[in-house]
Copies of this chain bind each other. A is one copy, B any other.
Amino acid sequence: MKRDDKSYKGIGVFDSGIGGLTVVRALMERLPEENIVYFGDSARVPYGTKSPETVLRFARENLKFLKSRNIKLIVVACNTVSAVALPVLKAEEKLPVTGVLLPGALSASKTTESGKIAVIGTTATIHSGAYEEALHAINQDLEIFSQACPLFVSLAEEGWLNNDVTRLTARKYLEPVIEFGADTLVLGCTHYPLLREVISEVMGKGVELVDSANECAIEVEKILEKNNLRKMTGDTGEIRVFMSDVPYKFKEIGERFLGRSLGEVTKIQI
């Protein structure tokens, strides 16, 4: 099949900070030949405590930056932006745009046996009701319970991935979730997979935790195929990381998310 030059362009990925690197990790595993351009808005992180209008404004600015970097597709690797701004971004943008919310919902709907699904995320994500909407669009009969867990982001960024404070916080947030009795829990924020061990321990056996990263990579592969955009040369793709701030301890935390060395990080003002 003949591929045009466009296929050599990168996959543009953005997040409010470094949580989206978990999505980059899944993309690198599934599509190792693809070039990836990552932008993390670490100067304005977090998004999940802010208003939908502000989140939309930031998302537009991030997207504009990525478009200046020779990309062929945009991945919104942030649940908050996916929840409150994705329809607007899709309507405004000519390039294909995909988020992490629908992949997470799809993954959960495939996992559940009882039809009872719980979703945890930031305040903005949970208040948007976007997960309920996506899950009910997939299957009207699903029973859904949502819970905001705002402190999980700070705990992940502090590196308190599995200590007594994190466990106690998880117990507090997850008590009503346990009461609801789901068999599937959606980790509806890209930071949360870092706390998987504690969340899993608190939820107990019999509850599957799903995140969006792998399903999102599958979705990206489909879009590339459909639009004839896959890079077919076998050499390993390049990852370029841009951040709006490079704070103290950034590399250490970023590499925890990416699961490998970050390479060079370029700071840009947005």
Q: Using a CB-CB cutoff of 8 Å, which residues 99-133 of chain A contact chain B?
A: 123-124, 127
Query: With a CB–CB cut-off of 8 A, which chain B residues contact A150?
Result: 154, 157-158
Copies in the complex: 2
Which residues of A come within 8 Å of B, CB atoms? 42-44, 49-51, 54, 57-58, 123-124, 127, 150-151, 153-155, 157-158, 160, 163-165, 168-169, 172, 244-249, 269
Query: With a CB–CB cut-off of 8 A, which chain B residues contact A42?
Result: 50
Q: Give Cα A51–Cα B57 distance, bound, in whole angstroms.
A: 23
Query: With a CB–CB cut-off of 8 A, which chain B residues contact A49?
Result: 157, 247-248
CB distance B54 to A245 under 8 Å?
yes
CB distance A124 to B248 under 8 Å?
yes
Which residue of chain B is the closest to A249 with respect to CB atoms? B123
Inter-chain pairs besides A54-B245, A54-B247, 9 sampled, C-beta below 8 Å: A43-B44, A43-B50, A43-B54, A49-B248, A51-B246, A123-B248, A151-B151, A154-B154, A165-B168
CB distance A164 to B154 under 8 Å?
no
Could you list some 21 contacts between A and B, CB below 8 A?
A43-B44, A43-B50, A43-B58, A49-B157, A50-B245, A50-B247, A51-B245, A51-B246, A51-B247, A54-B245, A57-B269, A123-B247, A127-B248, A150-B154, A150-B157, A150-B158, A151-B154, A151-B165, A163-B172, A164-B168, A165-B165
